[in-house]
Structure 1
Amino acid sequence: MTAMMLDDSEASDAELIGRARGGDRGAFGKLVERHYGFVYRAAYRWCGRKADAEDIAQDVCVRLGRAIRDYQGNGAFTTWLYAMTLNASRDMMRKRARDTAKADAYGAYASIAGEVPADDPADALWTAVRLLPDKQRDAVLLV
């Protein structure tokens, strides 16, 4: 068992993907563990809230479990994973907009508390980026 863990930690993404596509749960778990931080950071930059970024990252992990067999390997795995993260982020924001519209239609007050530490200038920048139109925001986040 220890040899298997060493193999997983030293295995390339391509090896882990191949094994995960074949149903190896350990390889899939290592792949998720290896890239979870990347997914979380991309989600946080897109939505700006820790709780939402965690929800998006978890959603991406679930989607990855269903979609790993469809990964063709034509591009970098992280590029594919990034696109999946952006799609999950957009889906969450659309759902939030629908839920807010429903709540407003029934006269309910819907508010979302922001998490903006006052001492971090990077947060002000990301807040401004999130106010851009979708395509411009995506371009900035890609860079």
Structure 2
Amino acid sequence: MGLTAAPPPDVTEALTRALVARAANGDAAAFAELIEGQYDRIYRTAWRWCGHRDDAEDIAQEVCVKIGQGIARFDGRSAFSSWVYRITLNAVRDWQRAGARRGRHADAYAEVAPKEAAADQEAAVTSSQLWDAVRSLPEKQRDAVLLVYAEELSHAEAATIMGIREATVSFHVHEARKTLRGLL
């Protein structure tokens, strides 16, 4: 009662295109709705890439500003969400080039607290170590792994976002697995 299924993807995409068009013409409410629909994904992606909440918040805010600055130039050749991912990835790379490794080593997925059960602590440490290792991979491998495994995108979707062929994504994932076996 009162629950409805999510609209089919083509309806959702049409709604997004309409919001983008309105936002590109200066409609602040449409822009706010677009950002509201994307913010959690932007933040989550930034957090997975950098591993620190404060930095992820800064990156997410920067991405929102960049979306606002570039919305009028969005040409619709790709899905809006793919465009947002690309902006997010570029913002993370900019952050990394500006000195991302400031000595912070925060857990990306879980903080181990004394009140947690021992099994939960072990899982959190293992997960943290895995994602720390993923973040240490070469850029293309890291991006491919995070898009495919953390964001649960297909290799084709990851290829679109990364601007490379699907087979190349598969290669980067394969190479990352080999590297991670050696690191862990």
Asked if TM exceeds 0.5, the reply is: yes
The AA in structure 2 aligned to 1:123 is S
Which structure would you say has the larger RCO, counting Cα contacts within 8 Å and 6 or more residues apart? 1
- Which runs of structure 2 are paired with 1:19-38 in the superposition (5 Å)? 19-38=22-41
The AA in structure 2 aligned to 1:135 is K
RMSD: 1.8
User: Matched residue pairs, number?
Assistant: 122
- In the other structure, the counterpart of 2:59 is 56
Measured against aligned partners, the alpha-carbon deviations of 1:86-139 in whole angstroms (never above 9, x if no partner) come to: 000000111116xx8xxxxxxxxxx53322224324322211110101111011
Task: Say which structure is richer in helix.
Answer: 1
Q: Distance in 2 between matches of 1:124 and 1:76?
A: 33
Q: Distance in 2 between matches of 1:138 and 1:44?
A: 13
Q: TM-score when scaled to structure 1?
A: 0.79
Q: Distance in 1 between matches of 2:53 and 2:127?
A: 15
- In the other structure, the counterpart of 1:5 is none
- In the other structure, the counterpart of 2:104 is 113
- Which runs of structure 2 are paired with 1:37-52 in the superposition (5 Å)? 37-52=40-55
- Which runs of structure 2 are paired with 1:129-140 in the superposition (5 Å)? 129-140=134-145
Gaps of 5+ in 2: 1-11, 113-120, 149-184
The alignment partner of 2:48 has SS state of: helix
Measured against aligned partners, the alpha-carbon deviations of 1:25-59 in whole angstroms (never above 9, x if no partner) come to: 01101111110000011111111111111110000
- In the other structure, the counterpart of 2:85 is 82
- In the other structure, the counterpart of 1:128 is 133
Measured against aligned partners, the alpha-carbon deviations of 1:64-99 in whole angstroms (never above 9, x if no partner) come to: 0000011111111111100100000000111116xx
Identity of aligned residues (%): 48
